[in-house]
Copies of this chain bind each other. A is one copy, B any other.
Amino acid sequence: MLVFQLLTTFVNMKIAIDMDEVLADPIHKFIQLYHRDYGIPLDLKIHAGNEIYHHVPEHINDKWFDYINAKGFFRDLPVIEGAVEALKRLQEQHEVYIVSAAMEFPNSLEDKYHWLAEHFPFIGWKNIIFCGEKIVNTDVMIDDRAKNFINFKGRTLLFTSPHNLLLTQYERVDNWHQVLEKLL
């Protein structure tokens, strides 16, 4: 494992990077929308292992699905702290690909494209992948959803998000600073 990590540190690698909860912050927006529509507190803290819908009354816990399917939802999400600078630095040394399971929410396709163009203009169209299953052939995958690591043969970095805090079997990164420490 050490040899593998040493190897992957010095060689130009292909790195697949997820969007939601890794580059973009949808949770912040969910909370704002639930607050606007149902008075859910803005300082809502999502407990380890939970999704946002575990913290709202049952009769509105599927509203997130309406929010996420609406045009515009993904267009103005906040950028996760440190992501822009980190991707610039990774790109100097590695081949960086954005790999988002956007196909589940077809109304997100254009929003996500334009969001990337606004915040990550240095990522060209050849390096953007909107998919369902992440059957990409890269050396590294950075993702908050462990299900995307199934069948992936490379090194996986689980990007910390409340919903994955109870998982212990993956190499974890809590923020973009830690990603750079591991991959540069």
Q: Which residues of A contact B (CB under 8 A)?
A: 14, 97, 103-104, 106, 109-110, 113-114, 124-133, 135-138, 153
In the complex, are the beta carbons of B135 and A97 less than 8 A apart?
yes
A127 CB contacts on chain B under 8 angstroms: 132-133
Q: How far is the CA of A37 from the CA of B131 in the complex (A)?
A: 36
Copies of the protein in its oligomer = 2
Q: Which residue of B lies closest to A125 (CB)?
A: B103
A131 CB contacts on chain B under 8 angstroms: 128-131
Q: How far is the CA of A103 from the CA of B99 in the complex (A)?
A: 12
Q: Which residue of B lies closest to A151 (CB)?
A: B137
Q: How far is the CB of A94 from chain B (nearest CB, A)?
A: 13
In the complex, are the beta carbons of A128 and B103 less than 8 A apart?
yes
Q: How far is the CA of A142 from the CA of B14 in the complex (A)?
A: 23
Not counting A109-B109, A136-B137, a sample of 18 additional A-B residue pairs whose C-beta atoms are within 8 angstroms of each other reads A103-B130, A104-B125, A104-B126, A106-B110, A106-B113, A109-B113, A109-B130, A125-B132, A126-B133, A127-B133, A128-B131, A129-B129, A129-B131, A129-B135, A130-B130, A135-B136, A136-B136, A137-B153
A-B contact pairs, 22 of them (CB 8 A): A97-B133, A103-B125, A103-B126, A103-B128, A103-B130, A106-B110, A106-B113, A106-B125, A109-B110, A109-B113, A126-B133, A127-B133, A128-B132, A129-B129, A129-B135, A130-B130, A130-B131, A131-B131, A135-B138, A136-B137, A137-B137, A137-B153
